[in-house]
Every structure is written in C-alpha cells, then in structure tokens.
Structure 1
Amino acid sequence: MNDPERAMLLSVHPRFATAILAGTKTVEVRRQRVAAPPGTPVLLYATAPTMAIVGLARIASVRVASPREVWSASRTKAGISRREYDEYMSGALQASGLSLEAPVTLEVPVPLAALRASGSFHPPQSYRYLTGEDLRKVAVAAPDGGAALRDTLGELVRV
C-alpha cells in the first residue's frame, strides 16, 4: 500500500456486504473513479437496516473504464443483474470495478451508534478514505475492543 495510514470505508447494501463476505461477490462497482492501490484495506459498512461495519476485505485491483467495459469484465463477479447495473450506471461516463479479496466477517459488527459515540462519524454515501486515527476510533468503538480489526489490519489500528 502506498500510504500505510490509509484504508477505505465502503458503504454497501446489506445484501452486497453479505455476498462480499461470503466470497460470491468479488467486484464492487462504483459510478466514479476510484484510485486505490492494490492491498488497500476496505472496511465494509452495511447500510440500513444493518447500519454497522460488518467486515473487511482488501483491494486486489481497480479497473476504471466505461460502464460497458467494466460490466463486460465483471458481470459474473458483481453480484447484480444487468438491469440493476444499467439503472445504477445510467448517465455515468466512467465506472470503477473494485476487485476485492481476503474477506473477513467481524464476529461482532461495529454499530453506527457506537461509531458515533467514539467521535464524529458519518457513513459515506459511496466511500471515503480513513486515516490511522480514524481506524483507531473505529477500533475503540468495536464491541470486542477492536481485536478483530487489529488482527486484520495490524499496525493501522494500534490503540
């Protein structure tokens, strides 16, 4: 990873978080350009009704291209139908396909209420980058004291 203090917080619908963590969805698509190097840790935030960080993965690669090219390269790995993809990408000039690897399910999710209690936390609409300090706050908010995050992310979340 180019920046050892950086990870990504990715908001996904609960069904996609479940599929990523099960390994049946290995590509997450986004309407905007994503510039994250391979190896970047990804925290998966499952949106409503779950509203919690439920697991982690790593970026294996990112493909930025036209929506048509990204679909062609990822259709069997994206976990969505062509219709859903086309509706989501409607009007987009480019797309990103984030290939994810090494998914880890947190035994105890980190709920939004706990994240907000540890400081100013706002889940992103799509994604945002987290610093080491942000990750330490997430670890403090974790019901298990951040043990699973530390085990997976190592030095990034030392508290």
Structure 2
Amino acid sequence: MNDLEPALLLSVHSRFATAILTGSKTVEVRRQRVAAPPGTTVVFYATAPTMALVGLARIAAVNVGSPREVWRAHRAQTGISRKEFDEYMSGATQASGLTLEEPQPFEEPVPLSALRAAGTFHPPQSYRYLTGEALRPVAEASPSTGAVLSGILGEPVPA
C-alpha cells in the first residue's frame, strides 16, 4: 500500500471480528455504499469490550444494492440471523456486502490506549479510509502488528 491506496478501517463488534478472522464470517454488511475496490486492505477495530485493532483482511468484492438484495446474495456468509440483519438495516435504502478474503489476526491486538498514546486515534463509528501516513503511528504502537502493517505500507519489515 502507498499513500494513494488507502486501507479501510472498520469498526465491528468483537464477536464479528472473531468470526471474520477465523474465516466463519466472510461477508460484512454495511448500511451505506462502500466504494472500496477489490484488493483493498481492511483493518478491523473490535469494539467494546475488546477495544483494539485485531487483524486485517482484503476485500474480494463489494455488492451494493437494496438490503433485500444484499441479504439474498450473502445471507449464509454474514454470520448474523435474518432478525439481526433486519434490525440493523431498518430504514436503510441501500446496503453493501463486503466479501472478505485472506483474514489475518494480529498476534497481539493493539489496544485503544496504545493507539491513542502513539498519536491521535479515534475509532470510526462505522468505517473510514486510512492512508499510509495514518497507519504509521498504528504500526509503531505494537512491534508484532507493526511488522504486518509495514508490509501493507510497502516499507521494509523491521527485524
């Protein structure tokens, strides 16, 4: 990744982060259109009680449509019930299904306290794009995670 190819920082509930990183959940749904091309790196921030960066994956495909269309296409891969999906999508006219591949959990999650100590870090409500410049302080916050993120940044991996 370079500064022209941003990563996507996604906030997800802890149980979904675990399911994504173990490969049992391969589609993440969002209430709005996500315009990230296939190949985009996704960095996962697990919300409370974890409150840490926990891993990453790559976007294989993005399916944008009505909530009904996205559910029909991906229900078995979302890791949620129809009831949970309907509650989450209530009032939404558009949805995105992000098909994820190559999940990679971090050896050690990077806690919110370490992220904030390394710079100004605010977890997004849903998602936001991160440039290489924004990922550098995150890479510096944890040695083991820094090695993974340095590879994404296209920088030499620290020894």
- Residue pairs, 1:52-71, within 5 angstroms: 52-71=52-71
Q: How many residues align?
A: 158
Which residue does the alignment assign to 2:79?
Answer: 79
Letter of the aligned partner of 1:124 in structure 2? P
Superposed CA deviations along residues 105-141 of structure 1, whole A, max 9, x for unmatched, are 1001111001101111100010000011111111011
Cα offset for 1:142? 1.6
Q: Give me the whole-angstrom Cα distance separating, in 2, the residues matched to 1:157 and 1:61.
A: 28
How much is the aligned-residue C-alpha RMSD, in angstroms?
2.0
Change over 3 Å in CA distance of 1:32–1:3 after alignment to 2: farther
1:22/1:15 Cα in 2 relative to 1: closer, same or farther (>3 Å)?
same
Query: TM-score of the superposition, structure 2-length normalised?
Result: 0.93
**What is the DSSP-based 3-state SS (H/G/I as helix, E as strand, rest coil) of the residue aligned with 1:20?**
helix
8 Å contact kept, 2:58–2:102:
yes
Deviation sequence 1:41-88 (CA, Å, 0-9, x none): 000100000000000000001010000000000100000000000000
Superposition TM-score, scaled by structure 1 size: 0.93
- Structure 1 gaps of 5+ residues are none
Work out whether 1:111 is the aligned partner of 2:111. yes
What is the SS of the residue equivalent to 2:148? helix
Q: In the TM superposition, what is the alpha-carbon distance from 1:144 to its structure 2 partner?
A: 2.7
The reply to whether residue 22 of structure 1 matches residue 22 of structure 2 is yes
Amino acid paired to 2:44: L
When residues 27 and 143 of structure 1 are mapped into structure 2, their CA distance, relative to the original with a 3 A threshold, is: same
The percent of aligned pairs where both chains have the same amino acid is: 71
Q: Distance in 2 between matches of 1:156 and 1:138?
A: 14
- Distance (Å, rounded) in 2 between the aligned partners of 1:71 and 1:27: 10
Shift in Å at residue 145 of structure 1? 6.3
Runs of 4+ in structure 1 over 4 Å off: 1-4, 156-159
Runs of 5+ unmatched residues, structure 2: none
Is 1:36 the counterpart of 2:12? The answer is: no
C-alpha contact (below 8 Å) 1:135/1:157 kept by paired residues: no
Supply the AA of the counterpart residue of 1:155. G
- Mapped to 2, the partners of 1:21 and 1:76 lie a distance apart of 17
Letter in 2 for 1:45: Y
